[in-house]
Structure 1
Amino acid sequence: MNGRYELRDDQWERIKFILPPERKPQGGRPTKDNRHILSAMLWMVRSGAP
């Protein structure tokens, strides 16, 4: 991933372990991957999106 507001690979490697697991043990609805969700949050904060 190399978008303007996205984390670099080295940054992602340093923080990915502190996020919750992407899959719940009991199943359920498939989730988006943590990196995708974090990138969306960073875009909101950095771009000033309303």
Structure 2
Amino acid sequence: MEQSERVPPTLGIGLIGYAFMGAAHSQGWRTVGRAFDLPLRPVLAAVAGR
């Protein structure tokens, strides 16, 4: 099996906020693959805050 067949394409995720809610949502995106069979692999791409 080729590498491209085993590794799903990525989905860039951007978060607004980095305090409690940013931490909660980034944790959710990091662990979503444990609960669901995803066609894409989420990758944290950007974080914006004050």
TM-score under structure 1 length normalisation: 0.29
Higher strand proportion (structure 1 or 2): 2
Structure with the largest fraction of helix: 1
Which structure has more RCO (C-alpha within 8 Å, separation ≥ 6)?
2
